[in-house]
């Protein structure tokens, strides 16, 4: 589905954002992209929509055309205030489908808002929502475009525990290729069977999430750590019957 080879990108001020990233993601896979601040996670995400263009190769479902990429890959930005720019929630969710000129815009808006349990808020202005609600609407704006791949940047940042849990539950029900950029290791463990560790613009580890999270020296070397008292072994036990083989996950 996603195929990146030797992706390199430097910002105009000379800061290297990506320093040769290789990443392959199969259809239906759920992958966590972990890494410390400034690792290049957001930079990588912007490449998936051709909002930044580095050297190297990047294709999604075989294409690298900007317009096609934006239809295939839905980005949920780090700050929902950046994502929600229309005067009402409904119009914001409709923005993408209207640009795609699909016929069933209203139905898509309804469906997307229902998926994140925000249907009753359709006529509110975004600034009248709480942060957790804004995040959910931000996810709906992308779901309404029916992308093959959903990419979320720090979806759990600044959420209270309950809203965070609800968000995880919402994401668990979304059945498509998922890339979650996060520092929230427990969230990665719950949602994604595979994790990629990005550091200083390179992929430094790539494997099953639980193995990666069990590797304390690796995490420490890249400024990551599990929360105090977090019991990985418990997750191991509960996760095994639930974990699904990537290939069986059916995209929409």
Ligand X SMILES: Nc1ncnc2c1ncn2[C@@H]1O[C@H](COP(=O)(O)OP(=O)(O)OP(=O)(O)O)[C@@H](O)[C@H]1O
Binding site for ligand X (CB under 6 A): 11, 13, 15, 17, 35, 37-43
Partner whose binding site includes residue 234, from another protein, ligand X, Mg ion, none (CB under 5 to 8 Å by kind): none
The least distance separating another protein from the CB of residue 22, rounded to whole angstroms, comes to 24
Applying CB under 8 A, which part among 3-11, 75-83, 217-225, 231-239 lies near another protein? 75-83
The least distance separating ligand X from the CB of residue 183, rounded to whole angstroms, comes to 6
The least distance separating Mg ion from the CB of residue 78, rounded to whole angstroms, comes to 5
Partner whose binding site includes residue 148, from Mg ion, ligand X, another protein, none (CB under 5 to 8 Å by kind): none
* Number of residues located near another protein, criterion CB under 8 A: 35
Which is closer to another protein, CB of 100 or CB of 163? 100
Q: Are 34 and 210 in contact (CB under 8 A)?
A: no
Q: Are 27 and 177 in contact (CB under 8 A)?
A: yes
Other CB atoms closer than 10 Å to residue 100's CB: what's the count?
A: 15
Residue 219: which residues within 8 A CB-CB, separation 6 or more? 185, 212, 213, 225, 226
Which is closer to ligand X, CB of 13 or CB of 240? 13
Which is closer to ligand X, CB of 27 or CB of 79? 79
Please state whether beta strands 194-199 and 202-208 pair in parallel, antiparallel, or not at all (unpaired). Answer: antiparallel
Rounded CA-CA distance 103/94 in Å is: 12
Please state whether beta strands 30-34 and 177-182 pair in parallel, antiparallel, or not at all (unpaired). Answer: parallel
Strand partners, 198: 203
Among 2, 18, 39, 46, binds another protein (CB under 8 A): 46
């Amino acid at each position: 589905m996603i195929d990146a080879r030797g992706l390199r990108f430097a910002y105009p001020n000379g800061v290297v954002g990506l320093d040769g990233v290789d990443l392959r993601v199969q259809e239906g896979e759920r992958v966590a992209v972990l890494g410390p601040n400034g690792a290049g996670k957001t930079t990588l995400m912007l490449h998936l929509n051709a909002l930044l263009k580095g050297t190297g190769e990047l294709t999604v479902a075989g294409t690298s055309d900007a317009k096609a990429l934006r239809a295939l890959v839905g980005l949920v930005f780090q700050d929902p205030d950046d994502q929600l720019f229309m005067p009402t929630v409904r119009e914001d969710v409709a923005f993408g489908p209207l640009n795609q000129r699909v016929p069933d815009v209203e139905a898509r808006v309804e469906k997307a808002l229902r998926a994140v349990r925000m249907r009753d808020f359709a006529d509110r202005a975004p600034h009248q929502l709480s942060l957790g609600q804004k995040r959910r609407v931000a996810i709906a704006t992308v779901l309404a475009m029916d992308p093959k791949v959903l990419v979320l940047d720090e979806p759990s940042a600044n959420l209270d525990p309950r809203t965070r849990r609800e968000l995880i539950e919402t994401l668990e029900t979304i059945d498509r290729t998922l890339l979650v950029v996060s520092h929230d290791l427990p969230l990665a463990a719950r949602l994604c069977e595979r994790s990629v560790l990005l550091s200083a613009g390179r992929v430094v580890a790539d494997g099953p999430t639980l193995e990666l999270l069990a590797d304390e020296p690796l995490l420490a070397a890249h400024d990551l750590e599990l929360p105090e008292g977090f019991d990985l072994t418990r997750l191991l036990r509960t996760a095994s019957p639930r974990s699904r083989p990537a290939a069986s996950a059916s995209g929409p």
